[in-house]
């Protein structure tokens, strides 16, 4: 039975290492957004990291402090920005780029009501990841 457990642990380690490692960075806000939206600078990337980490092809590799410098094991870096539009709708832009300087990158933009900011950010992140080769 111990051999079975050890074998299962090794398979789990292999499956985990086969997933695409990513890290997140704080989002930036446009000048029009102001203090009412400041919580989104850290809230949106934390939400995106938590949700993407649940998907099979991806694995979050950030440390205990979610916004530390990206670890060397990260293959992808997720960052973004948001800006309040004149009609108070929110534009959320998410960029996923390779950790290597010459790595591929993809970007997606979503616009919607400010109350939907987490959904907009997650949707943009999913679209950006889907546009990357091999992910």
Which domains, and CATH codes, for the chain?
20-130 (3.40.50.10070)
Q: What is the pTM of this model?
A: 0.82
Give dist(CA 87, CA 68) in Å, integer: 35
Mean pLDDT, rounded, for 69-86: 89
How far the first Cα of the chain sits from its last, in Å, is 36
Mean pLDDT of the chain: 85
pLDDT for the residue numbered 82: 95
Question: In the structure, how many helices (H) and strands (E) does the chain have?
Answer: 3, 6
Alpha-helix residue ranges (DSSP H) falling in the chain: 2-18, 40-52, 117-130
* pLDDT band, residue 134 (cuts 50/70/90): confident
93-117 pLDDT, tens per residue?
A: 999 999 888 889 999 999 999 999 9
Q: Please tell me the predicted confidence (pLDDT) of residue 33.
A: 60
């Amino acid at each position: 039975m111990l051999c079975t457990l050890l074998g299962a642990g090794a398979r789990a380690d292999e499956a985990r290492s086969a997933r695409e490692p990513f890290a997140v960075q704080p989002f930036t806000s446009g000048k029009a957004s102001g203090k009412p939206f400041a919580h989104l600078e850290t809230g949106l990337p934390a939400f995106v990291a938590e949700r993407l980490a649940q998907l099979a092809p991806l694995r979050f590799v950030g440390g205990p402090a979610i916004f530390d410098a990206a670890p060397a094991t990260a293959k992808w870096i997720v960052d973004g920005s948001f800006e309040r539009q004149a009609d108070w709708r929110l534009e959320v832009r998410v960029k996923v780029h390779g950790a290597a300087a010459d790595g591929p990158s993809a970007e997606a933009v979503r616009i919607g009501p400010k109350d939907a900011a987490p959904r907009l950010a997650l949707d943009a992140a999913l679209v950006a990841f889907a546009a990357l080769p091999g992910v």
